[in-house]
Amino acid sequence: MCFFIWWHFVSYHSNFHLFTMKFLFGIILLCASILASGQIQNSLFKNYTVSDGLVDEKVHCVFQDSKGWVWIGSDYGIMRFDGYNFSMFEFDSPEGKILSNTLIRCITEDSKGNIWIATEFQGIFKYNRAHYNIEQFKGNGLSHNSVWDIKEDKDGKLWVATEYGLNVFNPQTNQVEQVFTTETNQGLSGNWIRKLHFDTEHNLWIGTNMGVTRLSANKKHLQRI
């Protein structure tokens, strides 16, 4: 009888001790998991400020080109990032000086490797890598010189979103070939064009101040969405 009581006492306390150890081990694993999760979340983001080399913290657009450069458009021109350092994109020319003091809305690259830049009130700029020069297109048939977006179609023409109308710009002639506005094209939702996107079927989606419009791939039909 005494042996039975002793064995029951030992078994009970052994099980309790085992339960306690399992419980504590579970708590340790949970804490480690939470700490590791926090470290992973923190490692997902790296913030860059003026202290890291940014000239202006008011960033309007970010674009990575085919060569790996990250282009950053701000209130005062363009910065480039090579993965380690920031540098101002500057040219010692009249066009370059204008660009360095202009709000940048959009930066993109065409199929030939040229960089196109959309600005506020200064039209569009083209940076030709091969010849290392920059051109400004202000006027040239543009319906407005405040440009919000630029997209290239499959034929190499540029679709330019402005504050008054959608423009089709031919890089070969450096002229606007066509302008879409609500006055000339009843299907267009609004004249202030803010965003453009070509889908996989080459339809153009047009984001305006009054909604979204889709232009068919053959460029003949506008549909309000």
Is residue 152 domain-resident?
yes
- Domain co-membership, 106 together with 6: no
pLDDT tens digits for 1-48? 444 444 444 444 455 455 455 555 556 665 556 555 555 455 688 888
Q: State pLDDT tens for residues 73-83.
A: 999 999 999 99
Question: Domain tally for the chain?
Answer: 2
Report the predicted TM-score, pTM, of the whole model to 2 decimal places: 0.80
Please tell me whether residue 145 adopts helix, strand or coil conformation.
coil
Q: Which domain holds residue 1?
A: 1-45
In a domain, 26, yes or no: yes
| Residue 50 is assigned to a structural domain of this protein | no
Lowest mean pLDDT among 85-99, 117-131, 152-166, 204-218: 85-99
Assess contact for 194 and 208: CB atoms under 8 A. yes
CATH assignment of the domain containing 106: 2.130.10.10
Q: What pLDDT was estimated at residue 10?
A: 40
Judge contact between 161 and 195, C-beta under 8 A. Answer: yes
Nearest to 105 by CA among 195, 172, 166: 195
pLDDT, mean of residues 85-101: 91
